[in-house]
Amino acid sequence: MANTKTKKCSHCSEEPMDTMEDSMCIADGTEGEDIIMDAEQEVMNHAMSEKHKKRDSKEQKDLINRLSRIEGQIRGIKKMIENDAYCPDVLTQVAATRCALNSFSKVLLARHIKTCVTTDIQDGNEAAVDELVELLQKLMK
């Protein structure tokens, strides 16, 4: 990958990342060779904090099932492009996928507030509110 440079993420404008010159955060899309591997690595490098959340098996299974459906929708869109599908048909599927991803985010956010944020506040960690506000600002871009 030539033309590699460090720049701020165009989605959240916070974490520096190494990308190709014209690339963007995985949230916005990416260009270049080895897109899937680069995207997976970018997510791992960009999105991981030192905090962790232990999820019960039911919650984890629900979230993974939702992501698996979204992954299937993405693969379907890719096949539509490979099969020269009509643009409005592809765009309709993109909108449906975006809706599914938004739904996933709402479920995860609600669980985060009900568990992590509530526990932190009860433990006297007032910084949890600031962290939540910052998160909401990122989600509402």
Domains of the chain: 4-47 (no CATH), 57-139 (1.20.58.1000)
Q: How far apart are CA 94 and CA 112, in angstroms?
A: 27
Instruction: Specify whether the CB–CB gap between 102 and 58 falls below 8 A.
Output: no
Average pLDDT over residues 47-68: 87
- pLDDT tens-digit map of 79-107: 999 999 999 999 999 999 999 999 999 99
**Token reading at 27:** 């949230």
Residue with tokens 């960690």: 125
Q: How far apart are CA 13 and CA 137, in angstroms?
A: 11
- Does residue 10 have a pLDDT over 70? no
Instruction: Specify whether the CB–CB gap between 7 and 133 falls below 8 A.
Output: no
